Amino acid sequence: MKIILKTFLILIFVVSASLAQGFKVKASGEQTFNFEDKYKRNQATFFSTTPLEDITGVSNDVKGKVTFNVSDIKTLKGSISIPTASIKTGIDLRDEHLRSENWLDAANFPDITFFIKKVGDVKVSGDNKLEAKVTGDFSVHGVTKEVVADVTMTYLDANEQTQKKAPGDLLGVQAKFKIVLSDYDIDNMIVGQKVADDIEINANIFGSNAL
Q: Looking at 18-22, 101-105, 117-121, 138-142, which range is the least confident one?
A: 18-22
- Comparing CA positions, the residue from 66, 69, 155, 72 lying closest to residue 115 is 66
Is the distance from CB of 182 to CB of 194 less than 8 angstroms?
no
Q: Where are the beta strands (DSSP E) in 70-110?
A: 72-83
Q: What distance lies between CA 137 and its chain's CA centroid?
A: 11
Coil, strand or helix at 165:
coil
Global pTM reads 0.88
Domain ranges within the chain, ordered by starting residue: 21-208
The confidence band for 147, taking pLDDT boundaries of 50, 70 and 90, is very high
Contact partners, residue 43, CB within 8 Å, separation at least 6:
58, 59, 60, 62, 203, 204, 205
Q: Which CATH superfamily is domain 21-208 in?
A: Lipid/polyisoprenoid-binding, YceI-like (2.40.128.110)
pLDDT digits (tens, 9 = 90+) for 53-95: 788 999 999 999 999 999 999 999 999 999 999 999 999 998 9
How big is the CA angle at 46 (ends 42 and 48), to the nearest 5 degrees?
A: 155
- Comparing CA positions, the residue from 160, 181, 180 lying closest to residue 170 is 160
pLDDT digits (tens, 9 = 90+) for 97-108: 899 988 999 999
